[in-house]
Amino acid sequence: MRPYRRLEVRLKKADRDHLDGLLRGGVQPVRTVLRALALQQLGHGKSAVEVAALVPLTSKAVREIGRRYEISGLDETLYDKQRPGAVTLLEPAERKRIIAMVCSDPPAGRARWTVRLVAEEAVKRRLVPKVGRETIRLLLLHDDLKPWREKNVERAGADRAVRRADGGRTGNLRTPTRSSRTSRLPG
């Protein structure tokens, strides 16, 4: 096992106050809170192994937090850098062209659009140079299109109530049944 040099973290007063405020209140990501706890314990003079026993992190992670604080400061230590994210596979213009194609009638000899057919036709009609079925499926899912259904129209749901002329609900249209008390009355 490789011996590590003792990590001595000296927190500035402003950084200590910031950590205390961060840990005292508000909802924070777990990763940020764990880093703040580890840094606070390192600031109290505890070793990385002792901090790792208190906070659910490895001693290597605790050393990395302390090293990052010494090099970069508090914000770089507590918060991750923004990540780039996935590259969009279809440009907005290509998306619109594919959606317009799906909203039109399917090719001759086909009853309806399928995901596979949309992908093939988009390449054949040169709407996009290359596209996969999963990309088409996600595009249709995002725009709530279901071209494989017989009708690509969303129907009215449970709101099929009878309406009055002014647009209000009519209420219960059932004929009232007579109770045992009213059935004895004459008339």
> What pLDDT score does 155 carry?
41
What does pTM read for this prediction?
0.50
Instruction: Report in angstroms the alpha-carbon separations of 102 from 24, 34, 87, 145.
Output: 53, 49, 24, 8
Residue-wise pLDDT for 23-66, tens only, equals 998 888 999 999 999 999 999 999 999 999 999 999 999 999 99
- Coil, helix or strand for 169? strand
**pLDDT > 90 fraction of the chain, expressed in percent and rounded:** 55
Query: Residue 153's pLDDT is what?
Result: 41
Average pLDDT over residues 174-183: 57
**Average pLDDT over all residues of the chain:** 83
Question: What are the pLDDT digits (tens) for 124-167?
Answer: 999 999 999 999 999 988 887 777 665 544 444 445 556 666 66
Q: Tell me the pLDDT band of 6, cut-offs 50, 70 and 90.
A: confident
Mean pLDDT throughout 107-111? 90
114, 121 Cβ separation under 8 angstroms: no
Per-residue confidence (pLDDT) for residue 161, from 0 to 100: 57
Q: So what's the pLDDT on residue 127?
A: 92
pLDDT confidence of residue 172: 61
The pLDDT value recorded for residue 82 is 85
Contact assessment for residue 63 and residue 9, using Cβ atoms and an 8 Å cutoff: no
* DSSP letters spanning 79-122: SPPPP--PPPSS-HHHHHHHHHHHHSPPPTT-SS--HHHHHHHH
